[in-house]
Amino acid sequence: MKNYIAEFLGTFTMVFCGTAAMVVNDITGVITHPGVAITWGLVVMGMIYAFAEISGAHFNPAVTIAFSYAKKFPWKEVPKYILAQCLGAICASLLVLMFWPENETLGATIPTIVVWKAFILEFLLTFFLMLVIINVSTGSKETGTMAGIAIGGIVLLEAMFAGPMTKASMNPARSLGPALVSGNLTELWLYIAAPILGALVAVVSCRLVKDKNCCNTDC
């Protein structure tokens, strides 16, 4: 249960802080887009350092599935991790709704470009993210002094340039919470399918340039 609680808490904190920053910026304009991107990067980095030794600090169904595909994480644990992550995201969005009920999106990932371009962009963003994750992680755990900085940094970078186009989700749970609570479900499929595919292709790419165990062998 400690693993699942850690995934719940980490995802809850990440989604609450990130989407709250987006909502506050929508209302006041004070945080600005770079501030929102920095918020996402910092909260991801902080949660990795907080929970990596417990659950591996996935906080993302696409990452969990990719680790299992890479044979670094047991498939039987995948549904439990995803459930904990999605519940954490939904609870975070409910809390955002409590604070700012006047906001219509609650930080939902709604693309501002055509759907097929948004799909490709989210695929690429998650591909880049998973490449970093699988190369700095130990087995299925995002541990190590540099892991939090590297992963938080790539999240910040991608949120900075892609946020205005797709909100740079890279995470089905992160998109699911605000979408369900706000009712903005139209393009939700995109934010579920594209990150999972991008993360899986990243594992395949890793195998092309690394040995058959792909990066680290500790599971």
Distance CA 219, CA 217 (A): 6
Q: What is the pLDDT of residues 3-38, one digit of tens each?
A: 999 999 999 999 999 999 999 999 999 999 999 999
- The domain containing residue 122 runs over which residues? 2-209
CA terminus-to-terminus distance, the chain: 19
Residue 20 belongs to domain with CATH number:
1.20.1080.10
Q: Is residue 183 part of a domain?
A: yes
Counted domains in the chain: 1
Domain-embedded: residue 149: yes
**Cross-strand pairs, 141:** 138
pTM for the model stands at: 0.93
**Is residue 219, in this structure, part of any structural domain at all?**
no
The pLDDT value recorded for residue 219 is 38
pLDDT in tens, 63-114: 999 999 999 999 999 999 999 999 999 999 999 999 999 999 999 999 999 9
Q: What's the CA gap between 99 and 94, in Å, rounded?
A: 9
The rounded mean pLDDT for the chain is: 94
Render pLDDT for 117-144 as a digit per residue (tens, 0 to 9). Answer: 999 999 999 999 999 999 998 888 888 7
Residue 167 within a domain: yes
Q: Is residue 103 part of a domain?
A: yes
